[in-house]
Amino acid sequence: MTRYAYRALHASGSVHRGESEAANENALMSHLHTLNLELIEARPCRTSGGSSRASQRNVDHRHLIRITGQLADLLAAGIDLPQALRSLYLALTPSPLRDALMAIATDVTAGANVTQAFARHSRFFPPLYLTLLGAGEASGDLADAFLRLKRQLVWQDEIATALRRAVRYPLFLLTVACGVTCFMMLYVVPQMVTFLLSLGTALPFSTRILIGFAQGFGKVWWFMPLAGAGGVSFLLSARREGSRFALPASRLLLRLPLIGAILNDFACARVLTAFALLLQSGSDVPEALQAAAATAGNVSITARLMTAREAIIAGESVSAAMSSLLSPFALQLVKSGELCGRLGPTLDEAASLYEREAREKTNSLIGSLEPALTLLVGALLAWVVLSVLGPVYGSLGTLGRSL
């Protein structure tokens, strides 16, 4: 198969540019005819390496939300799936996802299973997406499946935004505090030291400590940002799935003071919401739990969920298998849902509980960090001022007595 860059004329008179794979130009022309496009010009793409790298790049989450919502609307309006996909193809700008939608439309038109057609492009569609799509296809209501998918993707995007806010703002405050400290120790204090030494008076203990700290800081300050950046880079790369350090790095993230509990609550909220949605869509418990585990975003939690799945297959109840993951209150909700035959709705309630707690912890963390860091910077400034003014006043007192 060759990848072609083409220009084609639509029946409406507009010119479309894009890229598509085809065996030859005649096959490309036949392919474009199905879209009411007349081929004007086609040439093989020169840089296949760049195209390959682009095709491996995951689609933007919000772009996937928009496409899923548009598919739900088109199907609800009575348009069949291949035609809906072709309509989106014509509306989108050239991209690997656009080509994937066209390939899916071609496969479905040829009689392929919808879920399998989407699964051939799994780099764009996560496991949860494919599982929900399969459940919707089995029930015969693809429009409802895409609508559920849109709601789930929107909710995941809101959670991700809240999680980024939980991490970003404290990091910003810490950066400001570190910046003020560096400025004081590298520029302000050294100039004051020169002035204090010129007075020729005995320096108090707090001033000597300040001078020693500034001199030590001046020698090692360059190492601190390098160590911090290296540590963060190592942690982020180590926690990626497939890394030999993924499991211990993910566990370490969950044990971090303050932020670890927030990360755990957001992960549990994502998993329980996906689990509930899959159960309500008709998936069985082991399949639903396996697909939901992929949304955790933490290898440690995913591993524990897969262990719970094996326990459920072996005959344990859902609440017993997930007892090590859930808080006592959430566990009681799941137990009651199992007993009443309402496992899906109670999982939704447990997810809402985790989400609410995570947001409250986030707001509490941000609310407490701001005054704490303000006090820290204020204490640093007070230390510097008092350590400098003390010798100055002492020197002036000595001068007054001599006069």
- Give tens-digit pLDDT for 10-19: 666 677 776 6
Residue 106: which pLDDT band, with cuts at 50, 70 and 90? confident
Are residues 137 and 74 both part of a single domain? Answer: yes
Structure tokens at 56: 């491996």
In the chain, the number of structural domains is 2
Q: Which of 31-40, 372-381, 388-397 has the highest mean pLDDT?
A: 372-381
What is the pTM (predicted TM-score) of this model?
0.66
68 belongs to a structural domain = yes
* CATH number, residue 65: 1.20.81.30
Residue 314: which pLDDT band, with cuts at 50, 70 and 90? very high
How far is it, in rounded angstroms, from Cα 124 to Cα 113?
18
How far is it, in rounded angstroms, from Cα 122 to Cα 130?
8
85 belongs to a structural domain = yes
How far is it, in rounded angstroms, from Cα 324 to Cα 316?
13
Are residues 51 and 67 both part of a single domain? Answer: no
Q: Which amino acid is at 162?
A: A
83 belongs to a structural domain = yes
CA distances from 129 to 59, 145, 275, 352 (A): 13, 9, 12, 21
CA distances from 92 to 235, 239, 258, 401 (A): 37, 34, 43, 85
Are residues 23 and 66 both part of a single domain? Answer: no
Are residues 114 and 41 both part of a single domain? Answer: no
- What is the per-residue pLDDT across 139-178, written as a single tens digit (0 to 9) for each? 788 888 888 888 888 888 887 787 777 677 777 777 877 7
Are residues 76 and 106 both part of a single domain? Answer: yes
Helices (H), 255-342: 259-280, 285-293, 299-313, 318-321, 328-340
Q: Which residue has the higher pLDDT, 52 or 205?
A: 205
Are residues 147 and 107 both part of a single domain? Answer: yes
How far is it, in rounded angstroms, from Cα 274 to Cα 285?
12
For residue 5, the cross-strand partners are 19, 43
Domain boundary among 153, 188, 203: 153
Q: Which of 172, 210, 204 is nearest to 192 (CA)?
A: 210
Are residues 144 and 65 both part of a single domain? Answer: yes
Are residues 22 and 83 both part of a single domain? Answer: no
Q: Is the pLDDT of residue 9 over 50?
A: yes
Domain boundary among 114, 137, 153: 153
Q: Are 73 and 149 in contact (CB under 8 A)?
A: no
Are residues 94 and 141 both part of a single domain? Answer: yes
Residue 252: other Cβ atoms inside 10 A = 15
Give one DSSP letter per residue of 342-392, joined into a string.
-HHHHHHHHHHHHHHHHHHHHHHHHHHHHHHHHHHHHHHHHHHHHHHHHHH
Are residues 84 and 68 both part of a single domain? Answer: yes
Q: Are 96 and 115 in contact (CB under 8 A)?
A: no
180 belongs to a structural domain = no
- What is the per-residue pLDDT across 273-298, written as a single tens digit (0 to 9) for each? 888 888 888 888 998 898 888 888 88
109 belongs to a structural domain = yes
Are residues 31 and 100 both part of a single domain? Answer: no
- What is the per-residue pLDDT across 62-99, written as a single tens digit (0 to 9) for each? 888 889 999 999 999 989 898 999 888 888 887 788 88
Residue 311: which pLDDT band, with cuts at 50, 70 and 90? very high
Q: Is the pLDDT of residue 249 over 90?
A: no
In 3-state terms, what secondary structure has residue 243? coil
281 belongs to a structural domain = no
Q: Are 271 and 292 in contact (CB under 8 A)?
A: yes
Domain boundary among 106, 123, 153: 153
190 belongs to a structural domain = no
- For residue 35, the enclosing domain spans 2-55
Are residues 76 and 31 both part of a single domain? Answer: no
368 belongs to a structural domain = no
- What is the per-residue pLDDT across 45-63, written as a single tens digit (0 to 9) for each? 764 444 443 343 445 678 8
Q: Which residue has the higher pLDDT, 32 or 125?
A: 125
